[in-house]
Amino acid sequence: MGAAVVEPAVATRSLYVKRAAQAAGVGLVAVASFALVTRLLLDSSACQDAPGYDCLGYALLWSYLLPVLNFLLTWPALRVLAVRPAWLTALLGTGIGWYLVRGIDAARWLPDGTPYVQAALCTVSFAGAAWFTQSRRPLWPRAAVALALVLLVPLDSLAATQLARSKQNNELADAGVPLLGPQLPAGYNLSGAGTTGSTATHEVTFYYRISPDSLGKGENTMDELRQEIQVTVGPIQPGFTPPSHCAALTNVYPVPSPACSPVAPGVWRWSNYDYVQYFTRVGDAVAVLQARTPPVRSAVLRELASSMRVRPPSYFTGG
């Protein structure tokens, strides 16, 4: 009689394991299919030959469409395999896998080039979703979890953004070079902050760009892109003895050090037929602003160069 009691429990457990295995198979096939489609999309001539950053825009749009398409395709697949409730299993499997992959990517817990790990995470997510939605549990807690996942989408995006900004702030704070930044005039924004070089050799440079707000709206022509101002900050070069010599922060050797003209206290200017550079010395560091003039007005460059000060990392990352 004891065996008769045990057998139904074993059979039920086997059914649950079968459900989880079927759902894991659906998740694995889905993630493999979408990985192949993503590769074909990025390698297609339409994407590769797209003007400007259009291919990047397509890739970003596709990344947000993926979870929706994954849910819509895995739902009927789970119904065919009699994994019920199929809609809730598909929603939980897609949501949990999406959060795991995005969270790990944002936290940089894994090195680049780990698609197999990401595929495994999505597979395990569907198996866990099937186990969680088994019929021995009441429906309302499962529906509440599904609703919570949907509501957490904006919070997840905000958390990932804040984490990325925090990591970038720490990287800039540890760069070992003064973070010189200007007082931005109205209608301009700062972006693309980063560092290059090695702190061990004291050859770190800090860079960013300053752009008119109009460049962020729609497609930009080459003439509009020339309105960007490139800024590089680094230790003063041995040949920096203005106004007779203004050694630029460059990898070119020998380092060019042309004569430059003073335009304000601690600020010098040099130009050729194509570019203009403003040099601002603050302590043991120098900031070099490079732009094309025209279209960038000299008055704007002079204002930016004259207002260079040491700023906190959040000034360059926006948070």
What is the tens place of the pLDDT at every residue in 211-257? 888 876 555 566 667 888 999 998 887 778 888 888 766 554 555 66
Q: Which of 10, 26, 39 is nearest to 94 (CA)?
A: 26
DSSP H stretches of helix in 44-138 = 45-48, 54-80, 86-107, 115-132
- Report CA Rg, the chain: 28
Spatial contact of 59 and 42, defined as CB atoms under 8 Å apart: yes
- For 309, list phi and psi in degrees, rounded to 5: -145, 165
> What pLDDT score does 292 carry?
86
> What pLDDT score does 22 carry?
92
> What pLDDT score does 146 carry?
63
Q: Which of 222, 243, 180, 175 is nearest to 203 (CA)?
A: 175
How many whole angstroms separate alpha carbon 35 and alpha carbon 115? 9
Tell if the pTM clears 0.85, that is, is over it: no
> What pLDDT score does 248 carry?
64
CB atoms within 10 A of CB 112: 6
Torsion of CA 123, 124, 129, 135, to 10 degrees: 110
> What pLDDT score does 9 carry?
60
Residues 6+ apart with CB under 8 A from 200: none
> What pLDDT score does 6 carry?
47
Specify the residue for token string 């019920």.
84
Domain parsing of the chain, residue ranges: 2-173, 180-317
Element housing 164 (H / E): helix 139-173
What is the CATH code for 180-317? Answer: 3.30.200.100
> What pLDDT score does 1 carry?
46
- Predicted confidence pLDDT, tens digits, the chain (319 residues): 444 444 666 666 777 788 889 999 999 999 889 888 888 887 877 777 766 556 767 777 888 888 899 999 999 999 999 888 899 889 888 888 887 777 666 555 555 545 677 788 888 889 888 888 876 656 676 667 667 666 665 666 666 677 777 878 888 888 888 999 999 998 899 988 888 876 555 578 899 999 888 876 555 566 667 888 999 998 887 778 888 888 766 554 555 667 889 999 999 999 887 889 999 999 889 999 999 877 888 899 999 999 999 999 999 987 6
CB atoms within 10 A of CB 117: 13
Q: Tell me if residue 253 falls in helix, strand or coil.
A: coil
> What pLDDT score does 181 carry?
95
> What pLDDT score does 85 carry?
86
Triad 48, 49, 51: Cα angle to 5°:
115
